[in-house]
């Protein structure tokens, strides 16, 4: 089995090499699967990462959820030690480049208690069918996911090539409930 560093290098290289038209076609398939899933339909409060660079585009999902009347929270990085918080947004335009140049809310004024979240869309570099996940190495999501209530659903959104037979796991890694790919 490859180590996390090599997996990151290989998968990100493939992901970064997608053409705009390939990426758009794959993103459209994933968007349709997400908004038509039973988890999405029944969730009142969702937490969704704001896509960055070559990640699966979540901007459409965020805008759809907002227009559907869902409570939408996105990550706001506080610090390496404090990790990230879930902050409610009411319009996509409230997001500005923040930590790591990723779009995020300006302040934590509308912070949401993690136990209020029904459904979380989790980013990552690679996943396996046993709930394993390789993130970007900062540990922000593993720490955040541990704060969610037990029955809060954690769904990864990724391209099919990001799904591997097995990824390395460590004790602090949080398992993913379901994976949606193209």
Annotated binding site: 4-8, 50, 55, 133-141
Q: Are 43 and 70 in contact (CB under 8 A)?
A: yes
How far is 12 from 9, CA to CA, in rounded Å? Answer: 6
Residue 137, phi then psi, degrees to nearest 5: 100, 0
Q: State the sign of the Cα–Cα–Cα–Cα dihedral 8, 131, 116, 80.
A: negative
Annotated binding-site positions for substrate:
50, 55
Residue 157, phi then psi, degrees to nearest 5: -120, 120
- β-pair partners for 89: 72
**In sequence order, what are the residues at sequence separation of 6 or more whose Cβ sits closer than 8 angstroms to the Cβ of residue 153?**
39, 43, 118, 119, 120, 177, 178
DSSP code at position 127: E
Annotated binding-site positions for ATP:
4-8, 133-141
How far is 95 from 89, CA to CA, in rounded Å? Answer: 8
């Amino acid at each position: 089995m490859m180590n996390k560093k090599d997996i990151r290098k290989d998968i990100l290289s493939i992901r970064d090499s997608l053409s705009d038209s390939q990426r758009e076609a794959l993103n459209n398939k994933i968007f349709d699967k997400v908004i038509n899933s039973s988890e999405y339909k029944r969730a009142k409060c969702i937490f969704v990462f704001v896509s960055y660079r070559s990640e699966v585009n979540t901007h459409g999902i965020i805008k759809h959820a907002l227009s559907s009347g869902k409570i939408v929270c996105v990550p706001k990085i506080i610090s390496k030690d404090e990790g990230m918080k879930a902050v409610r947004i009411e319009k996509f335009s409230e997001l500005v480049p923040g930590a790591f140049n990723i779009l995020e809310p300006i302040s934590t004024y509308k912070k949401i208690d993690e136990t209020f979240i029904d459904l979380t869309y989790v980013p990552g570099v690679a996943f396996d069918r046993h709930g394993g996940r390789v993130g970007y190495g900062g540990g922000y999501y593993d720490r955040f996911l541990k704060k969610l209530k037990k029955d809060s659903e954690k769904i990864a959104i990724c391209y099919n090539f990001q799904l591997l037979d097995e990824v390395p796991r460590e004790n602090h890694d949080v398992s993913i409930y379901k994976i949606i790919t193209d």
